[in-house]
Structures are given as structure tokens and as C-alpha cells.
Structure 1
Amino acid sequence: MKTDAIAAVAAQRIRTLIVDDEPLARRGLELRLAEHADIEIVGQYGDGAAAVAAVHALRPDLMLLDVQMPGVDGFGTLRNIPAAEMPLVIFVTAYDHYAIRAFETSAVDYLLKPVEDSRLHQALARVRQTRAQHAAKGHCARLLGLLGQLSGRPLDLHEALQPDFLEQLRREDKLAVRDGQRTVKVDLACIRWIDAAGDYMCIHTDGDTPQGNTIILRATMRELEQQLDPQRFPRIHRSTIVNARRVVELRPHTNGESFLRLDCGQELKLSRTHRDKLAVLI
């Protein structure tokens, strides 16, 4: 997963600010950065106040920041940027005695002027790796959030990685489906069958009428299969899952297909490719 994350992030543009009070220094960095196809310079500024405003307006991914500038210096500039807006930072300065303070601010790297091409390459490689790590952490957090919604409680990474976690979800008495900003929970015992309709899933359940109720959600067959016990909810067609406990009759059809009749009277087709499910249906 780490390799995939690095490749995916590397393919993205790294939106970059150059902040230095010396125009020649900014121009030199601009020329060197032009050799890196994934670097997109979105702004150049000569003082800290302008840099803070630019970070707020442009939300760059990276900032190459001089330490010594008139007015607000590089460290003061960072103190004025909210944590939620903070880009990755490479300090660029003529003085090496600022290095410890630079790394205390969690800077990615620290370059001495005149900037050597090899050191700039190295610093940008660290930027790419750091972005990939952040992307992987963000993906992990989103996945844990989704699994937490499905299980109905917060989860940590250790718990979610347990081999029996998905099996525990399957043993729950409810099916939890994420639909946009909401999570819909359906009693498993009430489900008659589930079928696909384009990008949506139709969950047919018991209801106040003989026809029951149909819950329509934007989901995929795979997402539902991962939660459901295949012994209790086998897939009988590429677009149909059935509650095996609701099947009351099985009738052979042509070409190896069969028809299932449910306790509500609904008939469903068991396709040839899913004939192996007969064992849990009979």
C-alpha cells in the first residue's frame, strides 16, 4: 500500500510557494524547480505577511521559505499560519545556525544558499515521501471511519486488522449501509432479497403491505456481500442476493437455471454460474 500511495501522490502536482525577500534568490529557485515536472509554482512573495495571506488564499502543498526577511522572518511567518492551513516547508537560508530551530518547526528540509541541485532534489524527494505518508494516513482514517459506522462504534487500526473483524460484522443482526452522508441500518431478519438497479441497490424488506418495503441506496453489490454471511445471504445471480431463510420452494428451469419462490410469493432466478449455492438453499 505504501508503494501505491507514493506512486499516486507523485502523479499529482505539488502546488508551491517561493518566499524570499531577494528577487534573484526567488528567480534561482524558480529555474531549478522548473526541472521537476510535478512542481507547480503558484506564487512568489518577498515578505512573511504576504506569504501568510497567500497560504490562506491558495492553500499550497509546499512552501520554500527564507529565514531572514525584513519585518516578519521565516519562523514568525509559520507562527501566523493556522495548523490546518500549514503546507510542507523547506527552509532556504544563507545561515546554517538556524537548522535546529528549522527542524523544531517540523520542516521537511533545510537548504543553504547557494542551493545545490543535488540537495534540492533530495529535499523534494522528502516532500514527495512525506505527502505519500500523509495520504496513506488519511486513507486509513477514512477507512476506519467507514468501518466504525458499519460496526456502530469507533474502531482503532489494531481492532480493524483482526482476521475475524469482518466475520463479526456479518454476525450482527443488522445490515449497515453508507448512503451519502447517512448510514442506514436494516434488520437482517426483515430482508427478503436484494437486487441491483444501475448504481443503486434495492433492499426488499417486510413491511405493512404484502408487497413489503423497498429501500433504495447508492451502494454496490460487493459492499453488501462483504457484510453479509454468504451462508445466510447467498448471491444467486450477478445482480441478486437472497435471504436463504425466506426461500420456500426451488423449481428447476432450463439450461441448468432454477427459480426460487420466497415466503412472500416473489420468484427469483438462480443462474447457472451460482448453482453452487443450492446447498445453502435446499
Structure 2
Amino acid sequence: MQNTIRTIIVDDEPLARKGLSMRLNKFEQIAVVEQCKNGQQAIEQIEALKPDLVFLDIQMPGMTGFEVLKNLQEASIKMPKIVFVTAYDQYALQAFEVHAIDYLLKPVDEDRLKECIEKVLAQFGGSADNDQQMKLVNMMAEITGADSDSILDSLAKGEPISVSDYRDYISVKDVGETTRISVHDVLWVDAAGDYMCVHCKDGETHILRKTMKQLETELNPKLFVRVHRSVLVKNDAVKKVLTLSNGEYVIQLNNEHEIRVSRSYREKVRSLFL
């Protein structure tokens, strides 16, 4: 492992940049070489300075952290190791944990930062570099809706990778307020007359004034599957697929709720889960 890890901090909030820099100064292996206030500046400095590590804020005006990654790839700029910094809640962060790409939740906790640095130090050297590249590619696969192999092929050919328009939240509007529901909190959605019922992990059900067809076009098909004309299910919420004596399928979710699969969607369910 190298002696010093050259690091860039990217955050649109000056106090957040300063605070993280002060905390990182306590780690002798980390050398903060630049602080960037927006995505464009980050891209320029990553290209110029070639840092080993970047603490990248996700939610920035003008260009998000994900868009920074996309632009780095399009420009064939060597990808440093990435630690996401975010104000997302714990449920939304499950997507990052799946790929073992570390993150820091604002405001940054001292113990959590120490744990993060330990992970970063363990990743430097040997095959960890390749592993980290694959984790970033897998993350971009979820963001763009493409598969990992096609992303690697595009990178090798120098082709651009476009970010999909799929939403990572569902907006539920009620009188005088709008509730944003992370797609990672959703178990299934079903139609109820002129409304949609969005059923979540916490047991709450939200009423959405939108058609199934509209909602299905907004959600990533890699995350959700249509199992009935009026039912959309989150893929990772599926615990079992039960086969009845008549050949019909019943999906059992992690919360034990069961949903019958209609005949027209049987093949799709078989290809995904059986």
C-alpha cells in the first residue's frame, strides 16, 4: 500500500468541505490535495491531479455526484476510488451497501469516518483496485440501466454512457404537501380503481394518483417487475415463488404477503425468479 493517499473533497457546501477536511487531517495516510465546490470543478481537478480517492457529494446543484462519474467515464479519465457523501436516509443507501461502495451520511460522524478510512486503506493495493473498479461499474449499471458487461465494453471503446431517466423516488401528492418515497422502501404497488396503492417496508400504504402504465415507465425495470395487469413488485422483495397444483404462480414477499401472478406475466416471472 502506498504511504499517502492523495484525496479530493467535492461538496457544494463550504462548511461541509471544511469540516470533512479537518477530520481527514487526523489521518496521516490521507492527504487532501484539493477541495471542489461543484461537479465541473471536480472533473477538471480529478483529470489534472489524478487523485487516489475522492469524497463525492451526491446531491449538488448543476451536476450530481452520479453525473460526475458519468462525465469521468465519458472523458476516459482514470477513475479514483470513490466514497459517496450523502444526506440520503439509511434505506436509500442500501443500493450502495449492496456493492460495498462506502458512503458517509451527513453530518459526518467521527467513528463512521474512522471505519470508512479503514475500508479505504484495506482496498489499496493488489487485486482490490480491480475489485473497486468492478464495484463502480456495477453501481453505474444500476444508475444507467445498462449491464456491467456493456458498460465495460463502452469504456473500452471510449463510448459515452448515458444516465437513465428512471426515478429513485415516487412523489405522492396530498393536500398541501408532497411525500417523496424512496424506491428502495417500496415492496409492491397495486391499482385500486383510479388510484395506485404504494406499499412500503414500514407497513405504510400511500395513495398515488397515477396510472400503472405511467408509473411503470418511470421506474427502473431492473428493480421492478409487472406480475399482474394491476400489480408491480419490487424484485428484491420477492422471498418465494410458489407453484400451485394448477400451474399458476404465487409470489410471496419478504413480509409474507402473497400475490397471484396472472397468466400473461407468468413467463416473465419464470425467467426472473425460476
Q: Which has the larger radius of gyration?
A: 1
Fold match by TM threshold 0.5:
no
TM-score by length of 2: 0.43
Q: Which has the higher helix share?
A: 1
TM-score by length of 1: 0.42
